[in-house]
Amino acid sequence: MTTAVRPTAAADWRALGTSVRLVTTDPALLDSCNLLLARQLAEVDATCSRFRADSELSALDDTDGRPTRVSPLLAEALAVALRAAEATDGAVDPTVGSALEALGYDRDFTLVQEDDRPVRLTVRRVPGWRRIHLDRATGTVTVPSGIRLDLGATAKAWAADRAARTLAEAAGCGVLVSLGGDTAVAGEPPTGGWRIRVQDITGPVDEAPAQGPYATIGLHSGGLATSGTAARHWRRGEHTLHHIINPDTGLPVHTPWRTVSVAAANCADANAASTAALVKGRGAERWLTGLRLPARLVTTDGTVVTTPGWPVSTTTTRTTTPPEATP
């Protein structure tokens, strides 16, 4: 007996300053799911963006240390960020906002790339996530004066989890949501799982890879995230900078890894681990193995290292692809 292959339909667009891909196992439901996804991402942007003066996060940064009631959506986003900080021993820290601004990353990335004014690199430890107090019972948050929050290491992955879950429940079909490579799946997957290309260097998702390693795997549930230093970098004077910050120095991390991909029970956990692995450097493989997280690490020279549990690739080659997981 031959098992029928479940059809899928996909939509690609941009939001939150990154690529968006939505795939459903029922093509007839793609448009309605896409509308719901657009509404959800607009809510996340209005709530969590540090580039919008009118966002709720920007308003929270200006509360001068006063306990402030926040929306349930921002409270959830902050809870995810603080949980990631605790789980990674502070390697992923939401108090890096001022450090990123000092490096010139103070607006949408497309605008950052157009600005080559020099910056002065100063070693300064970030304030630290433990200084942020979130009271879920009262819905209040206290951010000490002078701390600027950045949810970039967790918000997209959390938004992907939230959207995939909501869309699958509403539509009753399998759903994949990928936001810049942070990929979450929910509902009944296609036969053999969601085929996802784990990629290395940024480029159009539908173009054939040009150089370096990539792999295609099947994902049945949970989330998959790839973090790297090559996709989002810019120049300031004589310095080439990127957005993965070492909380101990407040500067872009020096790491032996070009990209790290992690699979986990949800995308938020996967992305926290992949980002933390870049910060942890040479100790990342042992750390991920200790957590029993399947991972694929690519060194700066293109060598691929995997931890136990990483799925056997259905495709692997020495050509490079983007870090955006592509179903």
Read off the CATH number of the domain in which 283 is found. Answer: 3.10.520.10
Asked if residue 324 belongs to a domain, the reply is no
Paired strand residues for 12: 21
The label of the residue with tokens 């592509």 reads: 326
Asked if residue 2 belongs to a domain, the reply is no
User: In the prediction, which pLDDT does 321 show?
Assistant: 31
User: In the prediction, which pLDDT does 324 show?
Assistant: 36
User: In the prediction, which pLDDT does 209 show?
Assistant: 54
Give the residue numbers spanning the domain of 143: 9-317
Give, for all 327 residues of the chain, the pLDDT tens digit: 444 556 899 999 999 888 999 999 999 999 999 999 999 999 999 999 998 999 999 999 999 999 999 999 999 999 999 999 999 999 999 999 988 887 766 556 565 555 666 667 676 899 999 999 999 999 999 999 999 999 989 999 999 999 999 999 999 999 999 998 899 999 999 998 999 988 775 444 455 555 557 788 899 999 999 998 876 665 655 556 657 888 999 888 889 999 999 999 999 999 999 999 999 999 999 999 999 999 999 998 889 999 999 975 544 443 333 333 453
Give me the DSSP letters along 144-196: -TT-----TTTHHHHHHHHHHHHHHHHHSS-EEEEETTEEEEESSPPTT-EEE
User: In the prediction, which pLDDT does 221 show?
Assistant: 95
For 213, which DSSP code?
-
Asked if residue 322 belongs to a domain, the reply is no
Asked if residue 122 belongs to a domain, the reply is yes
User: In the prediction, which pLDDT does 208 show?
Assistant: 55
User: In the prediction, which pLDDT does 4 show?
Assistant: 54
Asked if residue 136 belongs to a domain, the reply is yes
Q: Where are the alpha helices (DSSP H) in 15-123?
A: 30-48, 56-61, 72-87, 97-102, 109-112
Asked if residue 242 belongs to a domain, the reply is yes
Q: What is the largest CA-CA distance in the chain?
A: 67
Asked if residue 156 belongs to a domain, the reply is yes
Structure tokens at 163: 């959207």
User: In the prediction, which pLDDT does 114 show?
Assistant: 57
User: In the prediction, which pLDDT does 38 show?
Assistant: 98
Structure tokens at 82: 């603080």
> How many structural domains is the chain composed of?
1
Between CA 81 and CA 132 the distance in angstroms is 11
Asked if residue 296 belongs to a domain, the reply is yes
